[in-house]
Amino acid sequence: MSELIKSDNEYKEWITNLSCEYKKNQLRAAVKVNEEMLRFYWMLGKGISLLSDKYGYGSGFYKIVSEDFKDIFPEVKSFSPTNLKYMRYFYEMYPNAQNRPQAVDDLTMIFRIPWGHNRTIIDKCKNNTEKALFYVQKTLENSWSRDVLLNFLDSDLYERQGKAITNFSDTLPAEQSDLAQAITKDPYNFDFLTLREKYDEKELKNALIEKVNNFLMELGTGFAYMGREVRIEVGETEKYIDMLFYNTQRHCYVVVEIKTGKFDSSYAGQLGTYVVAVNHQMKTEADNPTLGLLVCKDMDKVEAQYALESTSQPLGISSYELSKLVPEEFKGSMPTIEEIEAELNE
């Protein structure tokens, strides 16, 4: 009888649905527990902030509080002097966060990411609340792990966000313009490229395309990769778009062109042509206008602005920076992380 029940499709569907619902409930419960814990940390941080100033530096205040909490809650490991200091920093970074309805502002989102993420943001943002909230929001939007968050914190993403030269405010409705501007950056920072010592322009461009592709995909702001060297027809001429994306948050196609040299005004015309072609050949009535993004090594910002003013298509222009180029023949001879760690441990 048991085998008959287990083989029944209705029963299997019922069990599957229940298990999915149980996992959702577990996740909701875990999020709720995390939120309540962080609200307690914020409240404790507030008290520490007020009392530590009263007793002064050198009083051993954090050690005393830590020992008292360990006596009261011996099974809890969260009340080390270091963690108590972070609770104080947590409160002082967001002193107005408690007892605020979520609809009022975005401060309550700090309670919805893990404590380790909050500590990392506190370390890197140094009392800059606006910057800290930017990374909290990005973590929530993209489900960043702590390692991914740390990498983006080190890439100056906040400082570069929305800094590209664009004409979005002149060519798009206000609500689309703000969202489009948010996906642009200037400059794009790429740590290193691995190339032959005598690399040519094609190799450099291919390496840059790979970097830009990885950067946009890892950013997680709704970019879906549609293809590289995408063929389109402009009249009787074949053209190839360097990269084509679809942005699920903006509901639009995004054409990306890479130039290894300095910006030239003719590039804006070329990119605008590709944008128009995508609008005619791929865009549907459900899609918003296609965006164009040009990434080049350098630019005269006045020339770039003039070029954008001369077109009716929504375009953005960003530059890129390279920390270093690594010759390909050296790549295999560079020590691995494991080799370095083994050397240090000897």
Tokens in use for 211? 């970097």
The pLDDT of residue 28 is 63
Residue 303: band (very low, low, confident or very high) from pLDDT cuts 50, 70, 90: confident
Give CA–CA dist 103/95, Å, rounded: 18
The pLDDT of residue 26 is 62
Weakest mean pLDDT among 129-133, 260-264, 270-274, 287-291: 260-264
The pLDDT of residue 146 is 79
Average pLDDT for 97-112: 67
pLDDT for 176-212, tens place per residue? 665 566 556 555 555 545 444 444 567 677 777 777 7
Weakest mean pLDDT among 58-72, 192-206, 245-259, 304-318: 192-206
Residue 330: band (very low, low, confident or very high) from pLDDT cuts 50, 70, 90: very low
Find all residues with CB under 8 Å of 140, minimum gap 6, and list them: 109, 112, 113
The pLDDT of residue 332 is 39
The pLDDT of residue 192 is 47
The answer to whether 314 touches 292, Cβ cutoff 8 Å, is yes
Tokens in use for 243? 């990269």
In eight-state DSSP terms, residue 185 is B
3-state secondary structure of 142: helix
Question: Options 3.10.20.30, 3.40.50.150, 3.40.50.300, 3.40.1350.10; which CATH number does 163-331 get?
Answer: 3.40.1350.10
3-state secondary structure of 171: helix
Give CA–CA dist 104/96, Å, rounded: 12
pTM metric for this prediction = 0.49
Helices within the chain (DSSP H only): 2-7, 9-55, 61-72, 81-93, 115-125, 129-142, 146-154, 157-160, 168-171, 174-182, 201-219, 265-281, 301-309, 328-331, 337-345
pLDDT higher at 338 or 275: 275
The answer to whether 69 touches 146, Cβ cutoff 8 Å, is no
Q: 184-187, long-range: CB within 8 Å, 24+ apart, which pairs?
A: 184/293, 184/316, 184/318, 185/157, 185/160, 185/161, 185/318, 186/160, 186/317, 186/318, 186/319, 187/160, 187/318, 187/319, 187/320, 187/321
**Bond from prior residue into 314 cis (ω within 30 degrees of 0):** no
Give CA–CA dist 241/229, Å, rounded: 5
Q: Show the 3-state SS of 243-300.
A: EEEEECCCCEEEEEEECCCECCHHHHHHHHHHHHHHHHHCCCCCCCCCEEEEEECECC
Q: Kindly provide the b/e burial profile for residues 248-265, where b requires at least 16 CB atoms within 10 angstroms of the residue's own CB.
A: eebebbbbbbbbeeebbe
Strand partners, 189: 321
The pLDDT of residue 168 is 72
pLDDT for 24-37, tens place per residue? 666 566 667 788 88
Tokens in use for 330? 């050296």
Average pLDDT for 232-237: 86
Residue 331: band (very low, low, confident or very high) from pLDDT cuts 50, 70, 90: very low
The pLDDT of residue 343 is 39
pLDDT exceeds cutoff 50 at 340: no
**Residue ranges per domain, the chain?**
2-159, 163-331
Residue 247: how many CB atoms within 10 A of its CB?
A: 21
Share the mean pLDDT of the chain: 75
DSSP H/E element including 316: strand 315-327
CA 62 → CA 18, 116, 121, 158, distances in Å? 47, 20, 22, 33
β-pairing, 237-247 vs 252-258, is: antiparallel
Q: How far is CA 327 from the centre of its chain?
A: 29
